[in-house]
């Protein structure tokens, strides 16, 4: 859990860096793309677990 918090802290610092230097639009676009990628991976993971007969939750 500590590893994840460090990753998100680094991402927050990078997003803040982009915001201070006028690249907030680029950071927002990257965030949208990453959100969609991880959402698709989540759905695919759920489908694969459901097909294998494992618990989805």
The tens digit of pLDDT for each residue in 30-47 reads 888 888 998 998 899 889
3-class secondary structure, 46: helix
Whether the per-residue pLDDT at 3 is higher than 70: the answer is yes
pLDDT at 30: 83
Instruction: Name residue, tokens 């677990």.
Output: 49
Contact indicator for 8, 14 with CB cutoff of 8 Å: no
Whether the per-residue pLDDT at 52 is higher than 80: the answer is yes
At 14, phi and psi to the nearest 5?
Answer: -65, -45
pTM score: 0.55
- The residue-averaged pLDDT of 11-37 equals 79
Query: Could you tell me the two tokens for 35?
Result: 């959100």
């Amino acid at each position: 859990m500590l590893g994840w918090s460090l990753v998100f802290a680094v991402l927050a610092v990078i997003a803040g860096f982009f915001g201070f230097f006028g690249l907030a639009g680029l950071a927002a676009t990257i965030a949208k793309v990453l959100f969609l990628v991880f959402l698709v991976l989540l759905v695919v993971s759920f489908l694969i677990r459901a097909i294998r007969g494992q618990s989805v939750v």
